[in-house]
Structure 1
Amino acid sequence: MTEFYDIKIYIFYDDHPEMHFHAFYQGDGGEFSVKTGKLIAGKLPPRAVKLISEMMNEHKKELKENWKLAEQHKRLKKINPLKKI
């Protein structure tokens, strides 16, 4: 869906409940709740978590829309990368 600062963000089709997305950075990965914005599984460096939280604040609506599209097995919309901070 999006990539910024070498962080890749995905939502997978047929994934388990609780609206969330997956983030990968330099071999590490985690899952973030769209509802709370918190890391709910996995491990990422603090700097990556901060950047992912910033992206989520900018694009929460788009993340929710893409989750709903994934539930319907529809094509996900690309999300603009995090603006430079």
Structure 2
Amino acid sequence: MPILSVFFGIVIRMWHDDHPPPHIHVEYQGFEALVEISTGLVKEGRLPRKVAAIVKDWCLEHQPELMDNWTKAQNFEPLERIRGADYD
């Protein structure tokens, strides 16, 4: 599964040809969750509260890039990396 971004130890991935609704897969220190792109909310799995808040903010900030990647993933095209939340 391609990695879209890594920040603060949080790994963001997206599957090619994954099921709707558009979402990302998030991993953090043994926690795993499916996060909906449109809302930034955890739909499956679990993340620590602070990590979920960071991911939500990041997801909403990068929604256009995530949706572009979702479209590419549905067409089996290469995905683009997205800047993490830890840049200065």
TM-score > 0.5, shorter chain as reference: yes
After the TM superposition, which parts of structure 1 deviate over 6 Å for at least 4 consecutive aligned residues?
Answer: none
1:4 to 7, 20, 23: 7
TM-score, normalising length: structure 2? 0.90
Encode CA deviations 1:21-72: one digit per residue, 9 max, x unaligned.
0000001100111122211000110011011012112211100000000000
Tell me by how many angstroms 1:84 deviates.
Answer: 5.4
Normalised to the residue count of structure 1, the TM-score between the two structures is: 0.93
1:43 match: 46
Structure 1: where are the runs of 5+ without partners? Answer: none
Does 2:66 align with 1:63? Answer: yes
- Paired letter, 2:83: N
Give the length in aligned residue pairs.
85
Question: Superposition RMSD on alpha carbons, in Å?
Answer: 1.4
- What SS does structure 2 have at the residue aligned with 1:18? coil
Residue 16 (structure 2) aligned to one of 3, 13, 26: 13
- Give the fraction of aligned pairs with identical amino acids, expressed as a percent: 31
Q: Structure 1 counterpart of 2:32, which letter? A: G
